[in-house]
Amino acid sequence: MVNRMGASQPLLLQPRCPAQDDPVVLDLLRLVMATSGAAWVELELVPEGGSPARTFSLGKVSDAGHFSPIAVGGDFKAKLRVGSEKPLAEEFVGLLGLGLTRTLECSRLREQITLLRGALDTTSSSVLLFDDRGDIVYANPPADRLLSLQTEDELLADTNGASVRPLFSLLCTLVERVAAGDGASASWKGTLDLADSRVMVCEVMRIPQASNDAQSAVLVLLQPVGAGPEARVDAFSENHGLSPREQEVVHLLVQGLTTVVMADRLGISPHTVRDHLKHLYRKTGTNSRSELLGLIAGAAQPTFGDGDRVLAD
């Protein structure tokens, strides 16, 4: 169900029947036949909310038979017919209703898990789920690629000048801190500068427990927001086939230096710098410094609020 402020449990907005060949539902029907000695059994499930009803059966169903309504928890109504000499015992029907209720709950949870994993597997963010022991129990494809890089020792990190260590070692430290914290310390948000010049927003949050005895977990989100300035300039230079001298001019240009200062840095005349700029305009299809700088910068990088800054070297 959904209220006006957003979704509430369960996640799937409408109840749906399990698949026609759901093995657990069919096993329940086999149990009915074995217990009652029925020649056939037929179960009709009717979900609330307009989703299609579904009929499950075993054996050769006929018009003759005994009808038993089944009390099912949740958003379903159930009817059972059995081809037996006498109706099912009331106590047996009650137990069958409990088993069917649990079966429908598990079927719905499986659908939710499939839906959520499909969504997480298609996002560009890296998603990691840690259990209460600090072990990774889920990693979506982008996170899995980061893990493969980590195994090759390509991702090292330091924070606030501390000793360099693997990025995932740092993440584990943050996970431990968040898992042990409370209130505002039950989450952490900051930015990561990776060794390959990518910039990521990192958010670590503890997942609220559904009950006191439920297993706790910590979720880590790594959202790429772009590359650092040096990497953007290098990529820009490679894409436009710039000469080594033109690349030097571009690196000085993004620092906001004037033509005279650039000439002094490069040991050439201001006139030569202007010639290099003209060549850059022609190669990149721009007409001014501002257009060229805008092309180099690409999309504006977002800004973030307070948070620790983690530097990956």
Contact 39, 60 (CB under 8 A): yes
Which pLDDT band, with edges at 50, 70 and 90, does 240 fall under? Answer: confident
What's the CATH code, domain 230-297? 1.10.10.10
Tokens of 226: 């772009």
Q: In the block, which residue shows the tokens 């609020």? A: 305
Q: Per-residue pLDDT tens for 167-224?
A: 888 788 889 989 888 766 778 887 776 666 666 778 999 987 766 676 789 999 988 7
The residue ranking higher by pLDDT, 34 or 196, is 34
Contact 226, 292 (CB under 8 A): no
Report field, pTM of the whole predicted structure over 0.85: no
- Say if residue 160's pLDDT is above 80: no
Which pLDDT score, from 0 to 100, does residue 129 have? 94
Question: Which three-class secondary structure state does DSSP give residue 201?
Answer: strand
Q: Per-residue pLDDT tens for 259-286?
A: 899 999 999 999 999 999 999 999 988 8
Phi/psi at 157 (5° precision): -145, 155
Percent of residues, the chain, with pLDDT higher than 70: 79
Tokens of 248: 């030097």
| Measured distance CA(69)–CA(67) in Å, rounded | 7
Domains 2-120 and 124-226 equal at CATH topology level = yes
What's the CATH code, domain 124-226? 3.30.450.20
- What Rg value do the Cα atoms of the chain yield, rounded? 31
Which pLDDT score, from 0 to 100, does residue 49 have? 75
The full set of domain ranges for the chain reads: 2-120, 124-226, 230-297
Question: Which three-class secondary structure state does DSSP give residue 242?
Answer: coil
| Measured distance CA(234)–CA(46) in Å, rounded | 62
Which pLDDT band, with edges at 50, 70 and 90, does 312 fall under? Answer: very low
What's the CATH code, domain 2-120? 3.30.450
Which residues in 124-163 are b (16+ Cβ under 10 Å) and which e? ebbbbbbeeeeebebbbebbeebbeebeeeebbbebeeee
